[in-house]
């Protein structure tokens, strides 16, 4: 599997910070080397050259068109996190979602 570098974005970066930690724990338990970090959506362009996966908080679906414009010429998987795992910060289910993007 290729190296996966994931940026999680939410409004301020707080809830996605907890989610990122839970995804890192889930990946570690599975023996996967995945880098996951969280920032606010205002910082996406600062990290665009360092990532190959961008996960967006479900409450930010309205910025997906803008994100598509930012990543259009890059090989970056973009996905809206699902409310059912995001709301309870379930790192295992979020990791499954990330991995499904790279199959």
> What's the CATH code of the domain at 77?
3.40.50.2300
pLDDT of residue 30: 96
DSSP single-letter state for residue 81: P
Where in the sequence is the domain holding 70, given as residue range(s)? 4-101
Does position 12 have pLDDT exceeding 80, yes or no?
Answer: no
Report pLDDT digits (tens) over 17-62. Answer: 999 999 999 999 999 999 999 999 899 999 999 999 999 999 999 9
In degrees, to the nearest 5, what angle opens at C-alpha 93 toward C-alphas 60 and 48? 45
Q: At 24, list the tokens.
A: 């890192």
Instruction: Report yes or no: 33 and 24 within 8 Å, Cβ to Cβ.
Output: no
Q: What is the pTM of this model?
A: 0.93
Report pLDDT digits (tens) over 67-79. Answer: 999 998 999 999 9
- Domain count for the chain, please give it: 1
């Amino acid at each position: 599997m290729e190296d996966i570098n994931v940026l999680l974005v939410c409004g301020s970066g707080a809830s996605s910070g907890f989610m990122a930690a839970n995804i890192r724990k889930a990946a570690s338990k599975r023996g996967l080397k995945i880098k996951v970090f969280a920032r606010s959506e205002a910082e996406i362009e600062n990290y665009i050259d360092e990532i190959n996966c961008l996960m967006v908080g479900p409450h930010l679906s309205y910025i997906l068109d803008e994100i598509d414009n930012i990543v259009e010429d890059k090989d970056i998987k973009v996905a809206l996190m699902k409310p059912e795992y995001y709301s309870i910060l379930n790192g295992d289910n979020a990791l499954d979602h990330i991995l499904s993007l790279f199959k």
